[in-house]
Amino acid sequence: MRVKFEGRWTREQLINSLCRLMDEMGDDGIEYLTGVNLYFHIEDSEFSAIELVGENELPIAGFTIKNLSAPKKTRKRRKPKIAAPVVDIADFKRRKDRA
């Protein structure tokens, strides 16, 4: 599934849209999302590009945020095994002889 937000968005607009999208996914029965990527360019109020720099004065290309409290995987319920009926060979031969 791919979700693409086109155009220029303020932080508040994007937060509201993402929250609304997540709520709608929850209504559709979606519990977990994996492999989520966000790519965006940053601008100030004058539409000038901004580049984030780290502690070593090098530009930050991206962040990796890990979910440390991963949800438990639910196990599918197995159907109980029902033993097949056992046919006694001697009884089977007797029935066959009667016919």
Q: Tens place of pLDDT for every residue, the chain, 99 residues?
A: 777 777 888 888 888 888 888 888 888 888 888 888 877 778 877 878 777 777 788 777 766 667 677 667 777 788 888 887 777 777 766 666 665
pLDDT for res 31: 82
pLDDT at 21: 86
Instruction: Give the pLDDT of residue 38.
Output: 79
Domain of 68, in residue numbers: 1-99
Strand partners, 59: 53
Distance CA 52, CA 42 (A): 9
Contact 54, 60 (CB under 8 A): yes
The total number of structural domains in the chain stands at 1
Task: Give residue 96's pLDDT.
Answer: 60
